[in-house]
Amino acid sequence: MSSKKISPVFVFALAFLALLSSGSSQVVDCIAAEVNNQIITLTDIRILRALAINAGGTEGIPLGPLREILEGAVNQKVVISMVRENIVVTPEEVARLLNETLDRLAPEARQRTMAEFGLGEDDLKPYLEENILYQKIIGLRFSQSANVSLKEIEAYYNEDYAPSEKALGREPKPMIQVLDELEALLKKEKVAGQVDSWIKSLRDQADIRINDNCLGQFK
């Protein structure tokens, strides 16, 4: 990660948010991070968490700590800002993910969450479009499935699968019956590890500033 001076964008945004919160004893918003001159605010992170919008992982993110979600959002912006790919996100893709995102919430919870942040459905689209773009980049870069050897599957069966089944009071199935399932699981883990390593290398080249004090404003 580079250690450049604070950018004018960062300084201006801090001043703007400070102005928003002037006259109040409570911070309205703050800058949680800056990634290659792109800002992530505390409100962004709270929205990502409240609506369980994926912010950097290969799976959906749960209602977790703000710092965990911030790191995912940083990863997402790092990948999008540093990887030049000619990828199109269609309105139909955004609309489909919007429906899936809202459908995860009960009607009352959805209404309460949208009202809390003063959001309309169109306000969510930039978050969703960015997420789709990120997922497409990851899919393009890691479209080839990882190779898993029979020896690796046997080791996982003996060291993980069988003991866990016995711990649950179940008789482990013969390896031949779960071979495809274990192979798929190990391939998924390998690809996830490759993605994590690749993102880490990109982060080492990126200009990232994280404001830990900002997250502390929200209890």
How far is the CA of 26 from the CAs of 29, 31, 95, in angstroms?
9, 15, 35
Contact 55, 69 (CB under 8 A): yes
Mean pLDDT of 51-70: 65
Query: Is the residue at 25 inside a domain?
Result: yes
Task: Tell me the CATH number at 83.
Answer: 1.10.4030
Sheet holding 38-41, edge to edge: 38-41, 31-35, 208-210
Together in a domain, 85 and 181 = no
Residues 77 and 171 in one domain: no
Q: Are residues 36 and 106 in the same domain?
A: yes
Residue 205 lies inside a defined structural domain of this protein: yes
Three-state SS for 61?
coil
Residue 17 belongs to domain spanning? 8-144+197-215
* Alpha carbon distance 70, 99 (integer Å): 24
Instruction: Mean pLDDT check: name the lowest of 57-61, 157-161, 166-170, 184-188.
Output: 57-61
159 with 140, same domain? no
Q: Are residues 137 and 172 in the same domain?
A: no
CB within 8 A of 41, min separation 6: which ones? Answer: 17, 29, 30, 31, 32
The domain tally of the chain equals 2
Q: Can you give the pLDDT at residue 219?
A: 62
pTM for this predicted structure: 0.75
Residue 42 lies in a domain: yes
Average pLDDT over every residue of 193-208: 95
Give per-residue pLDDT as tens, 108-132.
999 999 999 999 999 999 999 999 9
Half-sphere exposure of 188 (CA within 13 A, CB side): 9
